[in-house]
């Protein structure tokens, strides 16, 4: 029962998704590509690319993976698995959590999570690069995107569009 | 972190710009929650948080800037998709359980349909060489955006000497050694949380 398996795997991951769905890219890759062989490297990168080019929250990459693994049922199962567990917890525990505001251990948790989330997002980026097997021109594009995104106010969609254009020209 | 007990006296500059003076009077009903979050979901590319802020604080004034910062801070360090968790909180606040369901559903419904449509196109044309090379280019740009995001998040950490080593450890464990993430995160949180706890005690 592949849909159920997908749901359980992703629901488990949702509890460690510090930094959102982007931070989960390495782990989703492990589950979906390496452990279960539901997808190959190329498809995985393509799905990430599609999610980047579409509007909406980052979590939609999970929807696409679910779709490719098990169709519409897979798409819904993966999305729900990613969103539902923490949403329910946060719904039930928000008042209690707010009553801890300012406590030393609560501050320690929030300070402690931040550097881990940075590491996860960085790992997600290296994973995409590895899975896509970038050549040097692609790496130049990556570097240019990093610089332009950090140094200018250019809307990210332009960078995505430039990537698509260079790809279409067959440069990558 | 926006855990400021006396937030009135020391508001951040952006908070001052964005209407801290009047408390938000608008109390959205279910329809408004659905439509408001739909507009957020459909307008953001590569992350919708800035749009969520604009809708909630500036356009519809369902929250003050301070309230937004506090709630977002909470959602950002809890696991799971930040914006979804934020929608759940805003929905709960104004319409209880049904609000907590309607707001995230509104946020996701439109983008979900679009993404599924793109998935259909991909199933159909994804194997064409032209589509493959285009997606390759998009993936490269997307990869750059991720590196930039990691950089920005890293720069936002105040005590870099104490905490960035944990970033390096996570990268080594996840990207290089390929250790399973749940174990890495639990161990990492124990370590870096302990350091943070100790540092907080010394102040």
Which one, of A115, A67, A97, A17, lies nearest residue B165 by Cα? A115
Task: Give the residue ranges of chain A where pLDDT is below 70.
Answer: none
Which of the four pLDDT bands, split at 50, 70 and 90, describes residue B5? very low
pLDDT of residue B24: 54
Chain A positions touching B137 (Cβ under 8 A) are: 138, 141, 162-168, 171-172
User: B27 — alpha (psi -120 to 50), left (phi > 0) or beta?
Assistant: beta
Chain B positions touching A158 (Cβ under 8 A) are: none
CA within 13 Å, CB half, A11:
16
Tens digit of each residue's pLDDT (9 = 90 or more) over B21-77: 445 557 899 999 999 999 999 987 766 877 888 889 888 999 888 888 778 777 777
Instruction: Specify the higher pLDDT residue, B129 or B48.
Output: B129
Residue A76, min C-alpha distance to chain B (Å): 9
Q: What is the largest CA-CA distance in chain B?
A: 61
pLDDT of residue A48: 92
DSSP-H helix ranges across A15-155: 25-29, 41-53, 60-99, 104-132, 136-151
CB atoms within 10 A of CB B151: 17
- Interface pTM (ipTM) of the complex? 0.89
Residue B102, min C-alpha distance to chain A (Å): 12
What number is the average pLDDT over the span B18-23? 46
pLDDT of residue B203: 65
The residue of chain B nearest to residue A129, with distances taken between CA atoms, is: B143
Tens digit of each residue's pLDDT (9 = 90 or more) over A124-164: 999 999 999 899 999 999 999 999 999 998 888 899 999 99
Tens digit of each residue's pLDDT (9 = 90 or more) over B74-103: 777 788 888 899 999 999 999 999 999 999
Which of the four pLDDT bands, split at 50, 70 and 90, describes residue B13? very low
Are residues A112 and B45, on separate chains, in Cβ contact within 8 Å?
A: no
Indicate if the pLDDT at residue B146 is higher than 60.
Answer: yes
Which of the four pLDDT bands, split at 50, 70 and 90, describes residue B2? very low
Q: What residue segments make up the domains of chain B, in order of their start?
A: 1-125, 157-203
Q: How far is CA A161 from the centre of its chain?
A: 20
Q: Of B14-18, B136-140, B159-163, where does mean pLDDT reach its minimum?
A: B14-18
Q: Of A143-152, B2-11, B154-163, where does mean pLDDT reach its minimum?
A: B2-11
Q: Touching check for B3 and chain A: CB below 8 Å?
A: yes
Q: Which two tokens stand for residue B156?
A: 């936002």
Mean residue pLDDT of chain B comes to 84
Indicate if the pLDDT at residue B17 is higher than 80.
Answer: no
Q: Cα angle vertex B127, ends A40, B43, to 5°?
A: 85
Among candidates B97, B147, B189 on the partner chain, residue whose Cβ is nearest the Cβ of A113 = B189
CA separation for the pair B53, B71 (Å, rounded): 11
Indicate if the pLDDT at residue B153 is higher than 70.
Answer: yes
pLDDT of residue A1: 85
């Amino acid at each position: 029962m592949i849909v159920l398996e997908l749901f359980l795997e992703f629901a488990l991951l949702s509890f460690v998704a510090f930094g959102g769905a982007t931070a989960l890219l390495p782990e989703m890759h492990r589950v979906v590509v390496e452990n279960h062989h539901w997808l190959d490297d190329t498809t995985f990168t393509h799905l990430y690319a599609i999610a980047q080019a579409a509007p909406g929250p980052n979590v939609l990459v999970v929807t696409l993976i679910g779709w490719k693994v098990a169709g519409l049922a897979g798409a819904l199962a993966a999305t729900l698995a990613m969103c539902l567990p923490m949403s329910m917890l946060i719904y039930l525990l928000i008042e209690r959590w707010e009553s801890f505001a300012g406590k030393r251990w609560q501050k320690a948790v929030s300070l402690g999570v931040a550097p881990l989330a940075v590491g996860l997002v960085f790992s997600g980026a290296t994973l995409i690069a590895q899975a896509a097997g970038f050549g040097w021109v692609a790496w130049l594009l990556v570097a240019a995107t990093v610089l332009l995104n950090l140094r200018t106010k250019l809307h990210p969609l332009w960078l995505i569009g430039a990537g698509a254009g260079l790809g279409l020209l067959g440069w990558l | 972190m926006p855990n400021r007990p006396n937030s009135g006296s020391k508001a951040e500059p952006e908070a001052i710009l964005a209407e801290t003076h009047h408390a938000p009077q608008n109390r959205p009903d279910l329809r408004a929650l659905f439509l408001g979050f739909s507009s957020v979901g459909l307008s953001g590319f590569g992350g919708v948080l800035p749009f969520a802020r604009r809708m909630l604080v500036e356009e519809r004034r369902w929250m003050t800037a301070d309230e937004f910062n506090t709630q977002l801070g909470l959602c950002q360090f809890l696991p799971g998709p930040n914006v979804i968790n934020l929608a759940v909180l805003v929905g709960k606040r104004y319409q209880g359980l049904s609000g907590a369901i309607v707001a995230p559903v509104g946020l996701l419904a439109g983008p979900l349909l679009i993404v599924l449509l793109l998935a259909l196109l991909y199933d159909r044309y994804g194997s064409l060489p032209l589509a493959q090379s285009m997606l390759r280019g998009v993936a490269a740009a997307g990869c750059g955006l991720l590196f930039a995001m990691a950089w920005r998040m890293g720069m936002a950490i105040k005590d870099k000497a104490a905490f960035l080593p944990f970033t390096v450890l996570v990268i080594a464990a996840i990207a290089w050694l390929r250790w399973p993430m749940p174990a890495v995160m639990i161990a990492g949180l124990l370590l870096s949380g302990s350091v943070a706890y100790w540092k907080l005690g010394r102040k």
